[in-house]
Chains A and B, each alone.
Chain A
Amino acid sequence: MDGGVGYVDMDALKATELRLGLPGSDPPEKPPPTTTTTARPTKRSLDEDRAARREPSEGGRATSTRATKAQVVGWPPIRSYRKNSFQAMKAAAEAAGLYVKVSMDGAPYLRKIDLEVYKGYKELREALEDMFKCFEGCKGSEYAITYEDKDGDLMLVGDVPWEMFTSSCKKLRIIRGAEAIRGLGSSQ
């Protein structure tokens, strides 16, 4: 028996939904409207404009919300040329990067780092230490940083020149404890 008057079978409802497309295919979800970034400030009606404008100057002078701020035409006062350049630059910056996964023995989850950010091994080591220090049982426990190269072999980080390393590193793995000590032999 069905669950009563108030019960609505969502599947059944969906099945009766009128929409374009073959039965069984789902249309892509409409993305939620963004309130933050707008490449070009859009024209707003006079009242909307005043409402947003009044907010900061009326009553308790509450600072405007981020959404309101983003919609205020011509604010901040930056030349359109510069604003448009920023959009392009931001897109380019986000597209670049050499991201590799970093796993650490015993850590519940992996991390990802952008190798292009670091200038050399020293910086990389410091960054990894920083990233994983919350997982170290006791300070000073031995560990070795290794990486998987293009051929799938597990290599010790530090043997080859930095550029060669960044171009061949597929993922990083931090080995801890006895295994690391055994493998290290003479210190790097």
Chain B
Amino acid sequence: MTYFPEEVVEHIVDFLGSHRDRNAVSTVCKAWYQVERLSRRNVFVGNCYAIRPERVMARFPWMKSLSVKGKPHFADFNLVPYDWGGFAQPWIEAAARGCPCLEELRLKRMVVTDDDLELLARSFPNFKSLVLVSCEGFSTDGLAAIATYCRGLRELDLQENEVEDHGCQWLSCFPDSCTSLVSLNFACLKGEINANALERLVARCPDLRSLKLNRAISVESLNRILARAPHLVDLGTGSMTVNHHTEAYHRLINTFLRCKSLRSLSGFWDASSCCLQAVYPVCVNLAALNLSYAPAIQGDDLIKLICLCFRLQKLWVLDCIGDKGLAAVASSCKDLQELRVFPSDIYGAGTTAVTEEGLVAISSGCPKLNSLLYFCYQMTNTALVTVAKNCPHFTRFRLCILDPGKPDPVTNQPLDEGFGAIVRSCKNLRRLSLSGLLTDKVFLYIGMHAEHLEMLSIAFAGDSDKGMVYVLNGCKNLRKLEIRDCPFGDDALLKDVTKYETMRSLWMSSCDVTLRGCRALAAKMPSLNVEIINESDEADEFQENLSDLHKVEKLYVYRTVAGGRTDAPDFVWIL
């Protein structure tokens, strides 16, 4: 194999896209490592603290696209304190120095400042695409810098970020010479937008295919924008408040009639049922529909709209659709692959919500379903067994029963058998989230059958350390394990410490691991960072006096070649 001349190896390696394949190739021998690293264009860093940015830039000097993830997943649910870390600055600085031909940057769950964005905008002459997902720390001033300095920008995609509003001028910062935009998503911005500037921008970007507006955009403006961009494939509608029988409404219907390329719709924040008819013309072509931010669309109107979209592959809705609504969807949308049902009433009394019936209906009507996120009030083992039989193609299965530790309401049993059926039947399951009353048995099933499982999320489950051990022993491909409020302690944590080197990370909060266990883990495995997050006030004062038996509030363990990090705040102890 080593007799292949480099050019040949290079040619072959060029065909490899996936990171895993390329990572494998690079370990064959030094020559192949060299060939691979110089030809890699897309670099993915799953944990920003696993490696120093400089090393990444040095290894892949010709990278065009960089993707970095920061905080652990549970940060989405306020379990990670605000200033824990995940700063984009060192990455952007290192890239500016080492990889000037960078064209795309994708950051998830990181802290990005306006200065970072300005540095980014000024440092890469070929920069084309910025995607920020669940990030924070920047304002519209940073966006202004991007708009001003990134000539040839093709994509600015802001997904669910916390962005400080410093005014609407940023949009006007796109120069008149900017005609290259293909994708613009500012749906998460809370402030006002200069509608004129937006309309002019849309008018001069003939390649624009994806546009997601924020709530401030009025229907009148939406009309004008759509009139200029009838070739849009993906649209976020903005607030969509329009009264039936008004002129704006009639114009909207006509505008949508001309949008023959629309395949994906989202937004609808303030939309009421009566304005939905405007989008009926595009329903037949829709592949994706996100109504999860539209609580005013309910009942028959909601169902009618979705059932018109018989080519739908991806649907995100609120649980006010109800079980009957889901049954209707199941009979219309036979191509459905991804379904997410979000709760509309988190804190109050249960209003129309979904139960196991809705899920069973969907499973029997939509056998192509492979990705599910389902928030419901109850679930039964029988239902899960049926779902497992109907839909063996699940790759992502996330079930959230809103009441923690709730058993099967019919039999009062734990949901072990139900989830067991899922992992037995769905041989390609890569991601699983559990909920409801669960004993160690479910983990035995998972360890035995979930061969390809890569990410597992557990909450309020299990009886003993055995549960966690079953998972660590059994799931050979496990990459991320996140656990909260389970009775797993030091024995489970320390059972197989080398396992964590094969995983990206482990998160345990409100479990039974103690300081002693964490210290032991850190001592045995120098290749892991063992971080303890301790926010309670006592910890500050008695840090040295804390006994080894003190239970650790939050534990985050991850493999790294970068050593301990230097940017950790006071409440994070790296053992």
Contact = CB atoms under 8 A, between A and B. Distances in A.
Interface of A: 36-38, 40-41, 43, 45-46, 49-50, 53, 56-57, 61, 63-64, 69-70, 72-83, 85-86, 89-90, 92-93, 116, 119, 163
Given A43-B535, A63-B403, A74-B79, A119 B274 contact: yes
Contacts, number: 103
B256 interface: no
A78 B346 contact: yes
A141 B553 CA distance: 68
Contact of A50 (B269, B437, B510): B510
Given A56-B404, A81-B134, A61 B437 contact: yes
B405 interface: yes
Nearest to B81: A43
Interface of B: 74, 76-79, 134, 160-162, 188, 243-245, 269-270, 272-274, 292-293, 295-296, 342-344, 346-348, 375, 400, 402-407, 433, 437, 457, 459-460, 484-485, 487, 510, 535-536, 551, 553
Contacts of A63: 403, 405-406
A63 B404 CA distance: 7
A76 B400 contact: yes
B351 to A, nearest CB: 12
A45 B360 CA distance: 40
Q: Which of B404, B405, B510 has the largest number of chain A CB atoms within 10 A?
A: B404
B532 to A, nearest CB: 13
B484 A74 contact: yes
Contacts of B406: 56, 63
28 contacts: A36-B347, A36-B348, A40-B78, A49-B510, A53-B460, A53-B485, A61-B437, A63-B406, A64-B403, A70-B347, A73-B77, A74-B79, A76-B343, A76-B400, A77-B400, A77-B457, A78-B77, A78-B343, A79-B77, A80-B76, A80-B78, A81-B161, A81-B162, A81-B188, A86-B295, A116-B272, A119-B274, A163-B243
Contacts of A57: 405, 460, 485, 487
A59 to B, nearest CB: 11
Contacts of A75: 77, 404, 459
Given A56-B460, A93-B295, A64 B76 contact: no
A163 B402 contact: no
A89 B269 contact: yes
Nearest to A86: B346
Contacts of A82: 160, 292-293, 342
Contacts of A116: 272
A113 to B, nearest CB: 16
Contacts of B295: 86, 89-90, 93
Nearest to B438: A57
A77 B459 contact: yes
Given A43-B535, A63-B403, A76 B375 contact: yes
A119 B301 CA distance: 11
A185 to B, nearest CB: 29
B377 to A, nearest CB: 11
Nearest 3 pairs of A and B residues by beta carbon: A56-B405, A74-B77, A81-B160
Nearest to A163: B245
Nearest to B409: A63
B164 to A, nearest CB: 14
A46 B553 contact: yes
Nearest to B534: A46
A126 B289 CA distance: 32
A133 to B, nearest CB: 21
A180 B348 CA distance: 43
Contacts of B74: 74
A25 B82 CA distance: 44
Contacts of B273: 119
Contacts of B244: 119, 163
B468 to A, nearest CB: 14
A80 B459 CA distance: 18
B109 to A, nearest CB: 10
Contact of A45 (B77, B437, B536): B536
Most A C-beta atoms less than 10 A away, residue of B243, B346, B400: B346
A46 to B, nearest CB: 5
Contacts of B457: 77
A64 B404 CA distance: 7
A86 B344 contact: yes
Nearest to B463: A57
B355 to A, nearest CB: 15
A55 to B, nearest CB: 8
B78 A74 contact: yes
Contacts of B348: 36-37
A80 B244 CA distance: 33
Contacts of A90: 295
Most B CB within 10 A of own CB, among A38, A40, A64, A74: A74
> Could you say which of B407, B460, B553 has the most chain A C-beta atoms within 10 Å of its C-beta?
B460
Contact of A85 (B293, B402, B536): B293
B570 to A, nearest CB: 16
A29 B161 CA distance: 40
A58 to B, nearest CB: 9
Question: Which of A49, A53, A77, A83 has the most B CB atoms < 10 Å from its CB?
Answer: A77
A119 to B, nearest CB: 7
B403 A89 contact: no
Contacts of B76: 77, 79-80
Contacts of B270: 92
Given A79-B134, A90-B295, 12 more contacts: A43-B535, A46-B536, A46-B553, A53-B460, A53-B510, A57-B487, A61-B405, A69-B402, A70-B347, A79-B77, A89-B295, A93-B295
A37 B76 CA distance: 19
B272 A83 contact: no
B464 to A, nearest CB: 11
A73 B346 CA distance: 13
Contacts of A53: 460, 485, 510
Nearest to A37: B347
Contacts of B404: 56, 64, 69, 72, 75
Contacts of A40: 78
Contacts of B459: 75, 77
Contacts of A81: 134, 160-162, 188
